[in-house]
Amino acid sequence: MTSPRIVHVATSAPYDVTVGENLLQDVASAVPESAMRVLVVTAAPLRRHVDNLKALLDSRGLTVVIAEVPDAEEGKSAEVLAFCWGVLGKSDFTRSDVVIGFGGGAVTDLAGFVAATWLRGVGVIQVPTTLLAMVDAAVGGKTGINTAEGKNLVGAFHEPLSVWCDVRALDTLPRHDLVAGLAEVVKCGFIRDPEILTIVGENLTMLRGEGREGSLDDATRAVLVELITRAIQVKADVVSADLKESYLREILNYGHTFAHAIEYTERYQWRHGAAVSVGMVFVAELAHLAGKLTEEEVDRHRTILAGLGLPTTYPGHRWDALLTAMRRDKKTRGDLLRFVILNGLQNPVRLEGPDPAILQGAYAAVSA
């Protein structure tokens, strides 16, 4: 078993992210002594694990309420949010009580927003159970829900009390979901930590997991702990300097403008990581056409992502729909589209109002 790794997030309300194995007892111990009640927001597939956590919390004398919500993006709606508020109200939750988000990125986004909005803010502990949630959604204080008009358009910044990333939770994660989560890890390699790209490149077969049956082996867990810790460190460094996305934090959205447009166009039927993979290739092509990246650097995007089994293309003839969706992106200012691109590897910059011709050229490159 690998030793726990701790990443400190030095924001105005600092907290630690722990990456390791068999952390459930630690999660129970992390609930502040001042709390009397705990709301665990989770999805049905995780109920057995949540029952184990409830037993540990019960042993501390805490009143535990479980809010079971729809899995994945279906849970990030105003209706589900209102359901959680109702549970809190009926259970007499006060400002000293705590919410725990136990699940994938959609659950941690929802739980964080529930905590941010109840009594104008109560404590939240995040227990991400997917790779995507561990390296992205659960760290950094972003919370939110979706609307009919787009993803994460309603939300708040609300930092957790602590985050617990137990790689044993990945044992039962479907292979395609594990691979999709690696897209966010690779993103951190391109924007800040090149060692991530080296580690991924040296372990493509292991990380793809084709033919894997049952639990992850010790070697794979060790590689994942290293990659998860490195990716979280990248995010921690960025959000510590810029919590509320005034400028620097936007680099974490590398590939996301196009990715969110794909998700919206596909009515959220694409995995987020799969969309981010195509989105990174799109902005790499955009950077190449803008004279910022070489062909070899663009090819490195495709080689690593395709080597993991992630998509690098998207069907053609959908440009108008994608362009409309991108104009809703949070980085857009008025009618001015803004993208995070690379001016050489590990050097993210902004590209504002790109020529429509190079936008269509980048799209042609990913739809070929």
Instruction: For residues 355-364, give the mean pLDDT.
Output: 95
Known active-site residue 343: no
User: What per-residue confidence (pLDDT) applies to 149?
Assistant: 79
Instruction: For residues 146-150, give the mean pLDDT.
Output: 82
In order of their start, the domains of the chain are 5-172 (3.40.50.1970), 175-366 (1.20.1090.10)
Annotated binding site for NAD(+): 71-76, 105-109, 129-130, 142, 151
The helix, strand and coil proportions of the chain, stated in percent and rounded to the nearest 5, come to 50, 20, 30
User: What per-residue confidence (pLDDT) applies to 243?
Assistant: 66
Known active-site residue 245: yes
Selected catalytic residue, list 37, 158, 260, 338:
260
Selected catalytic residue, list 192, 250, 253, 302:
253
Lowest mean pLDDT, pick from 76-90, 155-169, 241-255, 268-282: 241-255
| pLDDT tens per residue, range 159-206 | 999 999 999 999 989 999 999 999 999 999 999 999 999 999 999 999
DSSP state of 368: -
Known active-site residue 260: yes
Selected catalytic residue, list 49, 54, 184, 187:
184
| pLDDT tens per residue, range 12-23 | 899 999 999 999
Known active-site residue 184: yes
Known active-site residue 235: yes
Q: How far apart are CA 275 and CA 264, in angstroms?
A: 10
CB–CB of 182/129 below 8 Å?
no
Selected catalytic residue, list 48, 90, 120, 317:
120
Known active-site residue 272: yes
Known active-site residue 120: yes
Q: How far apart are CA 161 and CA 141, in angstroms?
A: 10
Percent of the chain with pLDDT over 70: 96
Identify the sign of the CA torsion 276, 278, 284, 286: negative
Known active-site residue 47: no
Cβ neighbours around 100 below 10 Å, total? 30
Helix (H, G, I), strand (E, B) or coil at 39: strand
Known active-site residue 149: no
Selected catalytic residue, list 158, 230, 245, 301:
245
- For residue 111, which of 46, 61, 56 has the smallest C-alpha distance? 46
User: What per-residue confidence (pLDDT) applies to 12?
Assistant: 87
User: What per-residue confidence (pLDDT) applies to 330?
Assistant: 59
| pLDDT tens per residue, range 54-101 | 999 999 999 999 999 998 888 899 999 999 999 999 999 999 999 999
Pairing of strands 5-9, 150-157: unpaired
Q: How far apart are CA 1 and CA 16, in angstroms?
A: 21
